[in-house]
Amino acid sequence: MASYNVKTQSAKVRKAVNNVLEYHEHYKNAYFWTPPSSASGRRSLEKKFADSNPSFEIIDGNNNIYVSPDLSCSAKNVYYHLTIKVNNAVKDVRAIKKYLK
């Protein structure tokens, strides 16, 4: 898992947050998608997503923000979930939008 300090790596933080917001917009309605028909295709989609969208942590003073995306496929549905925790309290995507400024 990557870790970014806001004070020393602000460009990397912006890039990571921008990436999160882009794939969140793309995958938030994934439940209505048709998953691959074979089990190997579904696992391949899950692995491809995990490789291209890794979990990371943002360190901002006393705040630790943990961002973890997840995509899973069943035989009938595609499930996407984005977990954002600020100091172990679950938050929504608005908690990381402020790092784009």
Walk along the chain (101 residues) and give the pLDDT tens digit of each residue.
889 988 888 888 899 999 999 999 999 888 889 999 999 999 999 999 999 999 999 999 899 999 999 999 999 999 999 999 999 999 999 889 888 77
Q: What is the bridge-based pairing of β-strands 78-86 and 63-73?
A: antiparallel
> Which range marks the domain in which residue 54 is found?
2-93
Give the chain's domain count. Answer: 1
Is residue 99 in some structural domain?
Answer: no
Is residue 13 in some structural domain?
Answer: yes
In the chain, alpha helices (H):
10-27, 39-52, 94-97
Is residue 101 in some structural domain?
Answer: no
Q: pTM of the entire structure?
A: 0.86
Is residue 14 in some structural domain?
Answer: yes
